[in-house]
Amino acid sequence: MRKILGVVLVVLVIVAVAPFGFGFWADARLNALLEDFNQADVFDFTVIKTDKGWFSSTAIIEAELSIALAQKLNQAKGDGANLNPPKVVLKSTVFHGPLPFMSGQFSLKPVVATIDTKFVKDVNTEEPLVNIDYTVLAHMNLGGDTAVVLDIPEWSGPLGDGEDTVEWQGLTGKIDLAEGLDAASMDVKAPLLKISSDKGGLLVKSLSIKSDSEAGIAGLSLGNAHFSIGNIEFSSQKPGENFSIADVQMKADTTATAGNINSQIDFKMARLMLVGEQYGPAVFSIGLKNIEAESLARINDKVKEVRGQGLPQDQASMMMGATIMSELSNLLKQGPEIEIAELSLVSTVGKLMGNARISVDTSRPELLTNMFLVKDAIVGELDIEVPEEMMVLFNMGILKKELQGANIQYTDEQLKTMAKSRVNKRMGALVKANMFTKAGNMYRMTASFEKGVPTVNGRIIPIPFGGGAPVAPLQ
């Protein structure tokens, strides 16, 4: 009997002590996971404070856009004003393993920890940001991987203190992350988000994201991803700001062969309504082949380093240019290829079509190590045609943006006249220079590049240090 009581006592001690020890392990795993996320250069996560307990701990975490992504958004905004994205505050309750019974997700499968994360209003009050019963659970397994379960239920009601309303039909998903993010898979679905107000509204319907990736050659991420969305609609009382997109599909696939990276991206869109005009279907397909993996990895590391420094754009571009030039011969020796197999956009006024291909001839290696001779190893082809009316429509949108800051009144017809005048002036000069030809309402360019000699619409174009015989300058 005494032996049995002794064994029971030892088990009880282990059960009581183990969660405290697992708490240190869980803290280390959480910090490592957040650091891995930070390295991805999309969001920056910072642990503001922690409160350690025996069976569970809490961590208050601040999340904000990375410096690089914030800079890109400011550049895209393009009005000179800095966009300051708000910080999001997370409260993560870390239930210590090996059997985190306090989490309410009891399982006989031992884990390092189960982490329940909620969005809160700020660091100090820790009040819930929204009063809905959602689930964001991360199970940190003993093998080093982490499984994240997402379940955000349906919810409808007022948005904030104003008269805006929201209809949300939920989100479900699962994300599996290997240790160090060396592999990841994701499957997330959201049926509907609808925000309505007296000033306009937003509708996002049938969102789906699926992906599988793993660290491959030179530590680069390989795998596939599929993104689809049924509809996006944005409505506004302001004229010209309404738009809608229907049935968007994007697929990406990256593989490695013989030390090289190959990537294929395919984009399709059924319809786009913009400024009262309908576009679509649209197709864009681009492939990259024979990209030397080791060089690409070094360039990728440099990109992360430069982004993390938050340098001015011109300085960052200069540093990246120097890195690419230093890796140029390594990249070219594998005979890389870039091909736009299809570019097409249908509109009510015609169809834009194009394709292009650039490759490197490796039969003369001596050309690849001299920046002045590299052009003689490049082979390229380009064919594109676009209706004049479509260019007018594009320029109407550009003009509208240019005139936003000016107190100028104009009608749609006046805007169209200004856009047409701009197209005629610019394209007329290019037609005169033989950079484009015009047949009916279609502008077209057919170009090639071989042995350092560019040919556009059947005519050789002289360039400095060119590989072909001199030709008379354009009149």
How many Å apart are CA 285 and CA 353, to the nearest integer?
12
Residue 436, C-beta contacts closer than 8 angstroms, at least 6 positions apart: 427, 430, 443, 444, 445, 457
Mean pLDDT to the nearest integer, 407-429: 89
H-run or E-run covering 135: strand 135-141
- Whether the predicted pLDDT of 85 surpasses 70: no
Q: Where does residue 286 rank: exposed (0-12), middle (13-18), buried (19+ CB within 10 A)?
A: middle
Are 294 and 253 contacting, i.e. CB atoms less than 8 angstroms apart? Answer: no
pLDDT band at 386 (very low <50, low <70, confident <90, very high): very high
Question: What are the start-end ranges of the H helices in 194-249?
Answer: none
Question: In the predicted model, what is the mean pLDDT of residues 39-64?
Answer: 86
pLDDT at 469 over 50: no
Establish whether the linkage from the previous residue to 158 is cis, with ω within 30° of 0: no
Please give the Cα distance from 377 to 358 (Å, whole number).
11
Q: Which residue has the tokens 């001690």?
A: 13
- Residue 25: is its pLDDT beyond 90? no
Name the residue with tokens 């590391």. 301
Per-residue pLDDT, averaged over 394-410, amounts to 80
In this prediction, residue 472 has a pLDDT band, given cuts at 50, 70 and 90, of very low
Please report the pLDDT score of residue 373 as a whole number: 86
| Mean pLDDT of the region 209-227 | 94
Considering the chain, what is the average pLDDT of its residues? 84
Are 120 and 62 in contact by the 8 Å Cβ rule? The answer is: no
Q: How confident is the model at residue 13 (pLDDT cuts 50, 70, 90)?
A: very low
Which has the higher per-residue pLDDT, 174 or 50? 174
What per-residue confidence (pLDDT) applies to 475? Answer: 36
Average of pLDDT values for 433-455?
A: 94
| The predicted structure's pLDDT at residue 474 | 39
CA dist list (Å): 328 to 159, 427, 448: 52, 34, 22
Each residue's pLDDT tens digit, 111-161: 999 999 998 888 887 788 777 889 999 999 999 999 999 999 998 887 666
For residue 55, is pLDDT > 60? yes
Does the pLDDT value for residue 82 go beyond 70? Answer: no
The first and second tokens of residue 112, run together, are: 């390092």
Identify the weakest region by mean pLDDT among 228-232, 343-347, 353-357, 412-416.
412-416
Whole-angstrom Cα distance, residue 328 to residue 296? 10
Count of residues in the chain: 475
3-class SS of residue 404: coil
Residue 473: pLDDT over 60: no
Asked if pLDDT for residue 42 goes beyond 90, the answer is no
Question: Which of the listed ranges 157-161, 280-284, 296-300, 414-418 does the model predict with the highest average pLDDT?
Answer: 280-284
Joined together, the tokens standing for residue 118 give 């909620």
More confident: 276 or 90: 90
Q: Does 189 score more than 50 pLDDT?
A: yes
Instruction: Mark residue 447 as left, alpha or beta (left: phi above 0; alpha: psi -120 to 50; beta: remaining).
Output: beta
**pLDDT above 90 coverage of the chain, percent:** 44
Query: Which positions ≥6 away from 193 have C-beta within 8 Å?
Result: 166, 167, 168, 169, 202, 203, 204, 205, 207
Structure tokens at 245: 């997109």
Q: Is the pLDDT score of 206 beyond 60?
A: yes
Report the share of the chain in percent with pLDDT over 70. Answer: 87
Q: Which element (helix H / strand E) includes 358?
A: strand 350-360
What pLDDT shows up at residue 340? 97
* Residue 16 or residue 264, greater confidence: 264
Q: Residue 81 gets which letter from DSSP?
A: P
| Lowest model confidence (mean pLDDT) among 59-73, 313-327, 461-475 | 461-475
Position 195 scores a pLDDT of 86
